[in-house]
């Protein structure tokens, strides 16, 4: 059935006329080992010709650590900005021979620590923070690098809220609202963004925004709108574009419109924001750069160096359209 056994490094060694060790040295170009150009070429050619791919399992077993990086994704809808981030992260890690493995927390086959134990993960990443016991468990497993907080991502939360609020303040709004989703998975992110908005208000000498829930999956937006109007809120920052659309729908149900009755600004700049009626003002977030940066951090971290997690490289930009 499987007549052609898979090629191993021994096959390469035989073809190249060297020992298996030499093959290993060449292929992993081991630092400190000097291999004459001629031998190196022979090995490389043989490997190429036989289409040799080292078996990850064997490599892991021997080395004690795999080249798998696990990214734990919380139970939330994966928007385009997140998937862009993941994509970029995976690509950049792949360039360093690391393979990204996204583990959906909602896919509750086994707890995170178990999955990492079986695959012998080299590093574990996640959005938000892990619980201390999870971190402890992972470290006990010998995972080289646990990143409890996605620093880049979380650091980007503040500026988003700030940008939203500053925009509305600049346009003359003196009393702001903040629209939150109901989804618990979003809570951490939402708090970050809200804090940013509150900071902008404080800097302008204004009271903190009135935070209310306006979930896209429910119909509580109209109620939120009427509460805001009672408190003479004239501008609302929404957690993201979908929440913004919910607010907009709430306004419409009350016979009102944006921006004349209430200004609304979203976040994420999802594709539909541009073509909505009216086109939604929002904040665009470039996570691609963050993904690359993140990968860099993992690589240096795995090399044993201490990494600086403070730098936030997420580019956010205001996109002014018709609802503000």
Residue 22 binding DNA, by CB under 7 A: yes
Under 8 Å between Cβ of 220 and 214: yes
Nearer to DNA, 96 or 229 (CB): 96
Stretch that binds a second copy, among 27-35, 124-132, 229-237, 243-251 (CB under 8 A): 243-251
Q: Which stretch binds DNA (CB under 7 A): 24-32, 93-101, 145-153, 199-207?
A: 24-32
Among 60, 129, 223, 300, binds a second copy (CB under 8 A): 60
Q: Is 66 in the site for a second copy (CB under 8 A)?
A: yes
Euclidean distance between CA atoms 258 and 273, whole angstroms: 14
248 lies in the binding site for a second copy (CB under 8 A): yes
Alpha-carbon distance of 159 to 149, in angstroms, equals: 17
Other Cβ atoms less than 10 A from the Cβ of 257: the count is 13
Q: 99, 129, 188, 284: which one contacts a second copy (CB under 8 A)?
A: 99
3-class SS of residue 3: coil
Q: What distances in angstroms separate CA 268 from CA 7, 42, 158, 217, one per listed residue?
A: 47, 52, 14, 18
Neighbours of 271 (CB within 10 A): 9
Q: Which is nearer to a second copy, 166 or 222 (CB)?
A: 222
Query: Considering CB distances under 5 to 8 angstroms, the limit depending on partner class, which of a second copy, DNA, none binds residue 242?
Result: a second copy
Q: What is the DSSP string of 159-212?
A: HHHHHHHHHHHHTT--SEEEEE-S-GGGHHHHHHHHHHHHHHHHHTT-PPPEEE
- Closest CB 15 distance from DNA, rounded Å: 12
Chosen from DNA, a second copy, none, partner binding at 271 (C-beta under 5 to 8 Å by type): a second copy
> Is 35 a binder of DNA (CB under 7 A)?
yes
Question: Cβ atoms within 10 A of the Cβ of 38, count?
Answer: 8
Segment contacting a second copy by CB under 8 A, of 40-48, 136-144, 160-168, 300-308? 136-144
106 binds a second copy (CB under 8 A): yes
């Amino acid at each position: 059935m499987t007549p052609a056994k898979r090629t191993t490094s021994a096959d390469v060694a035989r073809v190249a006329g060297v020992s298996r060790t030499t093959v290993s040295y060449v292929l992993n170009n081991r630092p400190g080992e000097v291999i004459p150009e001629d031998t190196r070429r022979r090995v490389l050619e043989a490997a190429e010709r036989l289409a040799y791919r080292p078996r990850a399992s064997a490599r892991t077993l021997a080395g004690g650590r795999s080249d798998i990086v696990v990214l734990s994704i919380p139970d939330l809808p994966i928007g385009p900005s997140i998937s862009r981030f993941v994509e970029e992260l995976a690509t950049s890690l792949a360039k360093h021979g690391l393979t990204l493995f996204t583990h959906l927390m909602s896919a509750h086959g086994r707890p995170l620590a178990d999955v990492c134990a079986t695959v012998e993960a080299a590093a574990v990443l996640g959005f938000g923070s892990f619980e201390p016991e999870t971190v402890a468990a992972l470290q006990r497993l010998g995972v080289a690098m646990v990143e409890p907080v996605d620093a880049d991502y979380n650091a980007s939360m503040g500026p988003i809220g700030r940008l939203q609020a500053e925009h509305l303040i600049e346009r003359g709004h003196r009393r702001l609202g903040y629209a939150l989703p109901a989804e618990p998975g979003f809570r951490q992110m939402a708090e970050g963004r809200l804090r940013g908005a509150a900071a902008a208000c404080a800097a302008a000498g204004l009271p903190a925004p009135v935070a209310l829930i306006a979930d896209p999956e429910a119909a509580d937006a109209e109620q939120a709108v009427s509460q805001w109007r009672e408190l003479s809120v004239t501008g609302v920052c929404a957690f993201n574009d979908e929440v913004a659309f919910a607010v907009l729908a709430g306004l419409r149900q009350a016979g009102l419109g944006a921006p004349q009755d209430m200004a609304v600004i979203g976040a994420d700049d999802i594709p539909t924001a541009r073509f909505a009626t009216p086109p939604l003002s929002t904040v665009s977030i470039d996570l691609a750069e963050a993904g690359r940066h993140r990968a860099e951090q993992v690589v240096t971290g795995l090399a044993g160096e201490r990494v600086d997690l403070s730098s936030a490289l997420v580019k956010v930009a205001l996109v002014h359209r018709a609802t503000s």
